[in-house]
Chain A
Amino acid sequence: AQKITQTQPGMFVQEKEAVTLDCTYDTSDPSYGLFWYKQPSSGEMIFLIYQGSYDQQNATEGRYSLNFQKARKSANLVISASQLGDSAMYFCAMRGQPGFQKLVFGTGTRLLVSP
Chain B
Amino acid sequence: KQEVTQIPAALSVPEGENLVLNCSFTDSAIYNLQWFRQDPGKGLTSLLLIQSSQREQTSGRLNASLDKSSGRSTLYIAASQPGDSATYLCAVSTSGSRLTFGEGTQLTVNP
State whether these chains interact: no
A contacts, CB < 8 Å to B? none
